[in-house]
């Protein structure tokens, strides 16, 4: 039992004394009831606060879940963008290699063109030299002699 009323039927005790004891017991019981009511009120307030905290936590959790979904979609979009950029980078590397290859081909072509132009110049000089040799031969006496002998 929570409290001791102290009420016992005592024989030989005066009724006034028994009434005083009963009143004292009732006062003590009132104190206990008030303490119990206060404690119940405190518990109710704590329970209400706990419910509010739970609702706030549920709301926070729902917001966190929404934020997590948003973050997940952003992560997926970023991963897709990274994959796309990797593909573009690979294409750019391939293009760079192709450009380098074509540049080397162009350089080789230009070298060949320069050699062809040089060969043509040498050929032109050789042709000029042959013409000069022929002119010199035509102007020489031997040509005149050969011409006379053939006639």
Where in the chain are the domains?
15-150
pLDDT tens digits in sequence order for the chain, 151 residues long: 444 555 555 566 788 888 888 999 999 999 999 999 999 999 999 999 999 999 999 999 999 999 999 999 999 999 999 999 999 999 999 999 999 898 889 889 999 999 999 999 999 899 898 888 888 877 777 666 655 555 5
Contact 7, 25 (CB under 8 A): yes
Rounded CA-CA distance 91/93 in Å is 5
The residues, ordered by sequence, that sit 6+ positions from 29 with a Cβ below 8 Å of its Cβ are: 3, 5
Would you list the DSSP string of 27-88? HHHHHHHHHHHHHHHHHHHHHHHHHHHHHHHHHHHHHHHHHHHHHHHHHHHHHHHHHHHHHH
| pTM, 2 dp | 0.42
pLDDT, one tens digit per residue, over 43-63 is 999 999 999 999 999 999 999
């Amino acid at each position: 039992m929570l409290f001791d009323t102290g009420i016992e039927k005592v024989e030989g005790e005066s009724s006034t004394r028994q009434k005083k004891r009963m009143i004292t017991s009732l006062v003590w019981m009132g104190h206990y009831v008030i303490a119990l009511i206060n404690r119940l009120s405190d518990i109710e307030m704590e329970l209400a606060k706990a419910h509010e905290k739970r609702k706030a936590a549920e709301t926070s959790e729902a917001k966190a879940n929404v934020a997590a979904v948003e973050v997940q979609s952003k992560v997926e979009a970023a991963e897709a963008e990274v994959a796309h950029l990797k593909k573009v980078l690979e294409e750019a590397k391939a293009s760079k290699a192709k450009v380098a290859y074509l540049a080397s081909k162009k350089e080789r072509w230009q070298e060949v063109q320069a050699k062809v132009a040089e060969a043509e110049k040498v050929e032109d000089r050789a042709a000029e030299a042959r013409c000069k040799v022929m002119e010199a031969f035509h102007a020489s006496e031997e040509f005149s002699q050969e011409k006379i002998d053939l006639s």
